[in-house]
Amino acid sequence: MNRLPRRLVGALAIGPIAALGVFYLWPFATLLAEALTGGAVSDTLTRSQTWDVVWFTFWQAMVSTMCTVAIGIIPAFVVARFEFRGRRLLVGLLTATFVLPTVVMGAAFLALLPDSVDRTVWAVIGAHVAFNLAVVVRVVGSLWEHLPTDMEHAAATLGASRRRTLTTISLPLIRPAITAAATIVFLFTFTSFGVIRILGAPGTRTIEVEVWRRATQLGDIGGAAVLSLLQLAVLAVLLVWSTTAQRRHSRALALEATAPRRRPRTTAQRRFVALTAGAAALVALVPLGALVARSFSTPTGWSTNAWTDLGRVEVRPGIRVGTDPVEAIANSLTTAAWATAFAVAVGALASLAITAAGRHGRLIDAGLMLPLGTSAVTIGLGMLITFDVDPVDWRASWWLVPVGHALVAVPFVVRTCVGVLRSVDPAMTAAAATLGAGPVRAWRATVVPYLWRPLAAGGALAAAISLGEFGATSFLSRSGGETMPIAIEQLLGRTGTTLQAQGYVLATILAAVTIALVVAVDTIQGIVDARVTGE
């Protein structure tokens, strides 16, 4: 066998495994211990306030999910079935909304809604719907476009009206996709943190917000730990249910490669497509438009002051507020640079190890995906309570926040790279061996070169994640070290239009940078796909 020496695979794997152990598993164990000692469990679970929070978290997530699915299914159909100008742009727009940092989305809705509605649960639900529309459109749409159009025609020739065709044929057949999309949306809205911190009223707290409040405002670490474990348990149950439900309802469909999309032919069809696409585009564009507009608006009219005076604001002559927007931008850039470096280094080693190690690789792969299933707030809390005693009192270390961000980003880097590395034809390595290359040499010549481009895409993704990260940062960031999302939350929470306008300026900048990074990721991945498939 022409296999890589074990020592090399071990050397590749040791770094990622150590990082996972120190910065994820250990904090998680601390969290578990904290929750299980000193009667925290019974204290927390017998408090009626806890169940109020759990109930609120549940119902707002349920309503958000149902609204998102009900609204998203229409553009999903249009995107799957019709070919029209701007179709790809529309999907891109919705996706761009989805990848925006949660605080930016919260800020956008705060900017959009009148004062009487913002900071209510309805504002929160509205933001959740707009945010997650892309999930439904993409997940449901991608199954729908494989459903043969003639299946619907067959129902019509048997006398089924359009509504009955939808309810008896199309919806039952795309049900697995609807379940999958609903699960994802529920997961995101159940663990909603940034949106609620910006938009929620004092009484509207999700479990995530309550974890943060207990840990950082009330000093009740035990209670916070219990709540984060409770949330984890709920999510685990949900995932198990969703997986079985999807398996039960998935059909052996004779799916077409892609059912041909047609241009709308009748006037009614053209109107329907235009109306749906227009409405969906508005959902994506209007909140962002409001965000930009508010950064230029003052009580006396339009002004560029918030942009030009960024960082030079004095509440009264000589008195400045604690949050410095310019410093926040600098902090964010430094943090993102280091977080990207950490995530890329760990992700690259891990991806190579995973693909080289065969069966053991799957174990490393699964381990590195764990942080993805844990909310950022839980990760932040775990790190906060673990690294606060000598000799590991790292709370003041500059690298703790970037490491937290990297932990959230590594799964994305690994996913981007592993797929590409796995698709490298083993015959190429074998060919190199027949030409006289030893195992390591052959691997370096045929596998490693494929790492760089997906790694670049993963790096850009890591940078975007770090720039927008709010959950873990809420625990780990220290005064003076605020990143942009933290500064946005602080500025928008203050009274006074000048400060708020600056919050909107920061949110606009963050939105623009994030979208630019995600477009870069998309472009790089397009090139990677083309290279791998040899087109």
CB of 69 vs other proteins, minimal distance in Å: 19
What's the angle, vertex CA 145, arms to CA 143 and CA 149, rounded to 5?
Answer: 120
Judge contact between 28 and 374, C-beta under 8 A: yes
Using CB under 8 A as the binding rule, whether residue 156 contacts other proteins is answered as yes
Single out the residue of 3, 6, 164, 362 in contact with other proteins (rule: CB under 8 A).
164
Closest to other proteins by CB, 37 vs 167, is: 167
CB of 156 vs other proteins, minimal distance in Å: 4
Closest to other proteins by CB, 128 vs 175, is: 175
Single out the residue of 99, 169, 417, 521 in contact with other proteins (rule: CB under 8 A).
169
Closest to other proteins by CB, 175 vs 415, is: 175
Q: Tell how far CA 455 is from the center of its chain.
A: 19
CB of 510 vs other proteins, minimal distance in Å: 43
Using CB under 8 A as the binding rule, whether residue 248 contacts other proteins is answered as no
Closest to other proteins by CB, 273 vs 329, is: 273
Using CB under 8 A as the binding rule, whether residue 166 contacts other proteins is answered as no
CA 6, 12, 15, 19 torsion-angle sign: negative
Q: Which amino acid is at 309?
A: D
The interface region with other proteins, picked from 100-108, 144-152, 231-239, 285-293 by CB under 8 A, is 144-152
Q: Which of 81, 37, 387 is nearest to 225 (CA)?
A: 37
What's the angle, vertex CA 448, arms to CA 446 and CA 451, rounded to 5?
Answer: 125
Using CB under 8 A as the binding rule, whether residue 247 contacts other proteins is answered as no
CB of 167 vs other proteins, minimal distance in Å: 12
Q: Quick one: tokens of 319?
A: 């008195």
Helix, strand, coil % in the chain, rounded to nearest 5: 75, 0, 20
CB of 172 vs other proteins, minimal distance in Å: 5
Using CB under 8 A as the binding rule, whether residue 159 contacts other proteins is answered as yes
Using CB under 8 A as the binding rule, whether residue 157 contacts other proteins is answered as yes
> Is residue 520 classed exposed, middle or buried when 0-12, 13-18 and 19+ CB atoms within 10 A define those classes?
middle
Using CB under 8 A as the binding rule, whether residue 140 contacts other proteins is answered as no
Single out the residue of 14, 18, 33, 154 in contact with other proteins (rule: CB under 8 A).
154
Q: How many helices (H) and strands (E) does the chain have?
A: 26, 2
What's the angle, vertex CA 31, arms to CA 27 and CA 33, rounded to 5?
Answer: 115
Q: Quick one: tokens of 293?
A: 């507009």
Q: Quick one: tokens of 381?
A: 């809390």
In a 3-state reduction of DSSP, which class is residue 263? coil
Q: Pinpoint the alpha helices (H) of 324-470.
A: 325-356, 359-373, 376-386, 400-422, 426-434, 439-446, 452-468
Using CB under 8 A as the binding rule, whether residue 315 contacts other proteins is answered as no
The interface region with other proteins, picked from 143-151, 200-208, 316-324, 515-523 by CB under 8 A, is 143-151
Concatenated DSSP letters of 490-513: HHHHSSSHHHHHHHHHHHHHHHHH
Binding mask 253-272 for other proteins (x = CB under 8 A): xx--------x-xx------
Q: Cα(343)–Cα(347) distance, rounded to whole angstroms?
A: 6
Using CB under 8 A as the binding rule, whether residue 173 contacts other proteins is answered as yes
Single out the residue of 14, 18, 150, 201 in contact with other proteins (rule: CB under 8 A).
150
Closest to other proteins by CB, 269 vs 498, is: 269
Q: Which residues contact 501 (CB under 8 A, 6 or more apart)?
A: 294, 295, 296, 297, 298, 305, 306
Using CB under 8 A as the binding rule, whether residue 172 contacts other proteins is answered as yes
For residue 412, give Cα distances in angstroms to 196, 271, 303, 339. Answer: 25, 40, 40, 13
Closest to other proteins by CB, 261 vs 444, is: 261
The interface region with other proteins, picked from 34-42, 149-157, 194-202, 438-446 by CB under 8 A, is 149-157
The interface region with other proteins, picked from 97-105, 168-176, 227-235, 423-431 by CB under 8 A, is 168-176
Closest to other proteins by CB, 144 vs 387, is: 144
Closest to other proteins by CB, 257 vs 396, is: 257
CB of 352 vs other proteins, minimal distance in Å: 41
Judge contact between 423 and 351, C-beta under 8 A: no
CB of 78 vs other proteins, minimal distance in Å: 19
Helix (H) / strand (E) element for 301: namely strand 301-302
Return the CA Rg of the chain: 25
Closest to other proteins by CB, 254 vs 319, is: 254
Q: Tell how far CA 466 is from the center of its chain.
A: 11
The interface region with other proteins, picked from 2-10, 147-155, 220-228, 367-375 by CB under 8 A, is 147-155
Using CB under 8 A as the binding rule, whether residue 425 contacts other proteins is answered as no
Q: Which of 145, 155, 137, 134 is nearest to 253 (CA)?
A: 145
The interface region with other proteins, picked from 39-47, 145-153, 234-242, 300-308 by CB under 8 A, is 145-153
CB of 175 vs other proteins, minimal distance in Å: 8
- Interface positions with other proteins (CB under 8 A): 148, 150-151, 153-162, 164-165, 168-169, 172-173, 251-254, 263, 265-266
